[in-house]
Structure 1
Amino acid sequence: MKGVNNLKPNIVLIMVDQMRADCMSIEDHPVVDTPNIDQLARQGIRFSNAYAATPTCVPARASIMTGMSQTKTGRVGYQEKVEWNYEHTLAGELVKSGYHTQAIGKMHVYPARNLCGFHNVVLHDGYLHYNRKKHENLELESFNLTGDDYLPWLKSKAGSSSDLIDIGLDCNASTVARPWHLPESLHPTNWVVSESIDFLRRRDPGKPFFLKMSFVRPHPPFDPPQAFYDMYKDLDLPVPPVGDWVSREDIDREGLNPVTLKGNVPDQRFKRAQAAYYALITQIDYQIGRFKNAMEEYGVLDNTVIMFVSDHGELLGDHCYFRKALPYQGSVRVPFILSDPGDLLQLHQNEKINNPVELRDIMPTLLDIANVPVPDTVDGQSVLSLCKGNNKWRKYIHGEHAYGKLSHHYLTDGKEKYIWYSQTGEEQLFNLQNDSKELENLSSKEKNRLTYWRHILIKELTGREEGYTDGEQLFIGKEPKNILNNHNFSSSK
């Protein structure tokens, strides 16, 4: 590995929240424009079959920060207020190796101010429900219930009454949108980059740095600045795919609920949300360009490796579903780019790798780049080996999510996908090579392939505390858990 000085390479992990993998120009999306993200990919490697095994914020971020699978972290569903006491974290291992570490933006850990191994956290988690409940937090200052750093800054700039809910959009509403009501410079996306640029100014120049720059958007609320919304509001936007296996019935008119999971949303309402979602991605893209310019000004761009990734996707109307957690491509497939502007790693740039990778692979990859030992608690693998032609990579990804009646498990190798709904027994099989939009359920036609994947799932679930299988067959209706009892949260485990 070559470098421009005798320090280890700097590392920037750019995380976005709820961004679909297909919403990039380089993925040939028909309307979304992402020139700076495209350039990150052109200066590195794009992993086209990257997945979130447990596609909601908390469990996904646990795998990113620990390198562990969802069964090792114990987080197989979404549950807040579960302490993060992992023995080994990405930032903690880099600190041990002499890195100056900084997190800016979203963490979504518990307690909210948990450092998770970083030297410092400048925090904005968005609307953190459990800390926003004033009737349960009377002992805290009402102006800053979350310990959030963005909110008091916003109040100092826009007025003491300014808050996240002023715009009238729910933080989980994927079907409604409106433009940001304040100057663009006050938007949380711009704030994350402003704080990140300030870190370049105040970092320790005698150490390599690790910066986790974590955006809350394009997670709802869908509130892009007007200039970005205007880029998309009048375009002919793509129609979401709806499979032949989908019921379009919406007797209770759930589509009228702004935070619906499924339903028939009024066309104009949905088009505004779709345009705003795309606009938020382009806003992030432009701010990444702003940060890269600052890196050049501070002379660190060519000695920095950049990883760009999302914690999960957004269904955005696919198969009449919204939000995330479900096993379909819009929800589980994520952007995953390893960019090397200074050619420090001497990889073949502007290439695409199709092997299945997962969020747990981030920690071992970045430790590998820093030449730091990977703890034996880590389940993931360094994707650098893939870049160098490793032919012993994993064959598939096992994903899952406890989700009430929609609790499920999925398996994919990037070519096929098998889904089992644990509460109903419904099985689905998709040929992703011929049907990337998952329009045709092949479970009744491809019995041999269905049996093949079912046996793999039985193997994966054998011994699980929920009792999903006896090693011979799958059992329907076993109660799913958000948190496994045999988790690995602390060093005492």
Structure 2
Amino acid sequence: MAEKKPNVILICVDQWRGDCLGIDGHPVVRTPYLDKLAQEGTRFSHAYTACPSCIAARASLLTGLRQETHGRIGYRDGVPWNYPVTIASEFTRQGYQTQAIGKMHVYPERNRVGFENVILHDGFLHCAHDHHPADYDMVDDYHPWLRQQLGRDANDFEHGLNCNSYTVRPWDKPEHTHPTNFVTSQSIEILKKRDPTKPFFLFMSYHRPHPPIDPPIWAYELYRNMKMSPPPVGKWSEMFAKCAQPHHPALWYGKVNPDVLHDARAGYYGQMTHIDHQLNRFFETLQMFDQWKNSYVCFVSDHGDLMGDHDLYRKSFPYEGSARVPLILRGPDGSFIKRNNVSGRVVELMDIMPTLLQCAGLEVPRSVEGRSFLANACGKDKEVHPYIHGEHLVPYQGSAHYLTDGREKYVWYSGNGHEQLFDLDKDPKELNDLSSSAKSAASLRKWRNEMVETLKDREEGFSDGKKLIIGRPVKAVLDTIIKSDRSA
């Protein structure tokens, strides 16, 4: 009899900071069930997103490609996804039943990117509303479900919260109708209706804790009166003063009223605890269906949220609150995944595709540029990458690039050539920019040379191979975006 293939479950949350797990030492956030998951597997303490925003990050996650290859290095909607090889296409091709539920953020919106089926809810996307003003149901499965549940015309924008705002309002409908519950409920339905003769690959993609910040009332109240230390703010953050908008509900930079920020953090953390509880609901159901013991579970976020760090908000910037993500891998009973293990090696989103294919014993396409971290999850201290290169367009600064090996971080802004250097071992909150320190001159020079080499073949002309070039035009999508005929 052929060996039974394991199920593989990839859980992606949106805009969840890498430090926001109880087991990571966060002093406020309560995530008991994710903490339990981490104790049953390996947690990666230096996992990063190479492009800290929704579309570009998901391109890396789903294709296993570097941003220079998949072509998305900033935020731009409406650009077709023409990737013939994806994590879903490979699981499908190699005999798995494949299903995605929740946020995809691809284009066209109904592009299944290799999945056999997608139950879609991207949240409020202006691009999708522009393309389908008369019937948003064409690109969203949550809204018709919501109307059916409530027995009336309804949508998730009735509370009026902006999709990038730090404004908080608890969920205005019964809790079971929340988008977070929707992803969990639909995932449980898939367990009931799946093909029992096949292993399954399930992509559970939660829109939250990305705004709108609208957790159930109990989850908000859990944190509302909790004492919280103020976010870290380095003196260097004044470099963003010209883009300050402290009274804008979807600002990038500004000194926000402390009480307003406290409410935002309470709601943000509440979204996390809500997801944590809903994941346990799914895990318990998986056990009831006798599938837990034969399933790999990977938990990750597409990017973080600065949430006031250095008076910055949202994502896109190269700092830890935005670029570092949580990553947990738990294996089936009898697997070699080490329990209660923490790996400090740097890994990134493109590494998840080859890792999960390897977990399932499947072929990894030659086109994949990510590197498997399965050996690290099994307890080996193996270098996956010497360092990570990340980037994103940012307001008023051109393109922000970073390099990190998990111990130090070098930042370069293409618009004005501004450099930063942080010692993450001694200063994980990035309070002290060491770029002007004489003691750090050699380290700064080393990282600058690495960036020159990393960027030397880019179409923007950021590097001539000898030096970094300031002021080059930037774009969210490269002209050389991957061709539709690229093959494995």
TM-score (norm 2): 0.96
Percent of aligned positions that are identical: 47
From 133, 141, 152, the equivalent of 1:149 is 141
- Written as runs of structure 1 = structure 2, the 5 A alignment for 1:339-350 is 339-340=330-331, 342-350=332-340
* 2:374 maps to 1:384: yes
From 87, 99, 118, the equivalent of 1:102 is 99
CA RMSD of aligned residues (A): 1.7
Instruction: Supply the AA of the counterpart residue of 2:230.
Output: V
Instruction: Supply the AA of the counterpart residue of 1:31.
Output: V
* 2:420 maps to 1:447: no
- Written as runs of structure 1 = structure 2, the 5 A alignment for 1:83-122 is 83-122=80-119
Distance 2:416 2:169 in 1: 38
Instruction: Using the TM superposition, name which of 56-65 and 264-273 deviates more.
Output: 264-273
* 2:308 maps to 1:317: yes
Task: Specify the alignment match of 1:33 in structure 2.
Answer: 30
Task: Specify the alignment match of 1:409 in structure 2.
Answer: 401
* 2:212 maps to 1:221: yes
Cα pair distance change 1:159/1:39, threshold 3 Å:
same
From 301, 304, 308, the equivalent of 2:299 is 308
Question: What's the CA shift for 1:5?
Answer: 9.0
Distance 1:304 1:5 in 2: 17
Question: What's the CA shift for 1:78?
Answer: 1.1
- Written as runs of structure 1 = structure 2, the 5 A alignment for 1:326-365 is 326-340=317-331, 342-365=332-355
Question: What's the CA shift for 1:146?
Answer: 5.1
Task: Specify the alignment match of 2:419 in structure 1.
Answer: 427
* 2:459 maps to 1:465: yes
Structure 1 portions without partners, runs of 5+: none
Distance 1:436 1:413 in 2: 13
Question: What's the CA shift for 1:250?
Answer: 6.0
Preserved CA contact (<8 Å) 1:132 1:145: no
Cα pair distance change 1:318/1:198, threshold 3 Å:
same
Instruction: Using the TM superposition, name which of 358-367 and 235-244 deviates more.
Output: 235-244
Instruction: Supply the AA of the counterpart residue of 2:128.
Output: N
Instruction: Supply the AA of the counterpart residue of 2:470.
Output: I
Task: Specify the alignment match of 1:418 in structure 2.
Answer: 410
From 60, 64, 70, the equivalent of 1:73 is 70
Question: What's the CA shift for 1:482?
Answer: 1.1
Instruction: Supply the AA of the counterpart residue of 1:355.
Output: R
Distance 1:250 1:467 in 2: 28
Instruction: Using the TM superposition, name which of 329-338 and 5-14 deviates more.
Output: 5-14
TM-score (norm 1): 0.95
Task: Specify the alignment match of 1:52 in structure 2.
Answer: 49
Distance 2:483 2:269 in 1: 36
Deviations 1:355-399 (A, max 9, x none): 100000010001101111111111101111223526353210000
Preserved CA contact (<8 Å) 1:105 1:122: yes
Preserved CA contact (<8 Å) 2:345 2:383: no
Distance 1:155 1:298 in 2: 29
Instruction: Supply the AA of the counterpart residue of 2:139.
Output: G
Deviations 1:255-275 (A, max 9, x none): 110000111112221111110
Distance 1:440 1:207 in 2: 53
* 2:350 maps to 1:366: no
Secondary structure of 2:153 counterpart = coil
Runs of 4+ in 1 over 3 A off after TM superposition: 248-253
Secondary structure of 1:291 counterpart = helix
Distance 2:62 2:242 in 1: 42
Secondary structure of 1:231 counterpart = helix
Cα pair distance change 1:358/1:492, threshold 3 Å:
closer
Preserved CA contact (<8 Å) 1:405 1:424: no
Task: Specify the alignment match of 1:265 in structure 2.
Answer: 256
Task: Specify the alignment match of 1:394 in structure 2.
Answer: 385
Preserved CA contact (<8 Å) 1:87 1:489: no
Cα pair distance change 1:94/1:137, threshold 3 Å:
closer
Instruction: Supply the AA of the counterpart residue of 1:162.
Output: A
Secondary structure of 1:256 counterpart = coil
Deviations 1:276-300 (A, max 9, x none): 0000000000001100110011110
Task: Specify the alignment match of 2:158 in structure 1.
Answer: 166
Structure 2 portions without partners, runs of 5+: none
Preserved CA contact (<8 Å) 2:84 2:484: yes
Instruction: Supply the AA of the counterpart residue of 1:470.
Output: D
Secondary structure of 1:402 counterpart = strand
Task: Specify the alignment match of 2:471 in structure 1.
Answer: 477
Instruction: Supply the AA of the counterpart residue of 1:206.
Output: T
Distance 1:163 1:46 in 2: 37
Instruction: Supply the AA of the counterpart residue of 1:412.
Output: T
Distance 1:28 1:300 in 2: 31
Distance 1:489 1:215 in 2: 29
Distance 2:244 2:434 in 1: 29
Distance 1:78 1:477 in 2: 20
Secondary structure of 1:239 counterpart = coil
Secondary structure of 2:280 counterpart = helix
Distance 2:252 2:486 in 1: 39
Task: Specify the alignment match of 2:186 in structure 1.
Answer: 195
Preserved CA contact (<8 Å) 1:7 1:207: no
Deviations 1:184-240 (A, max 9, x none): 101000110000000000000000000000100000000000011111001002210
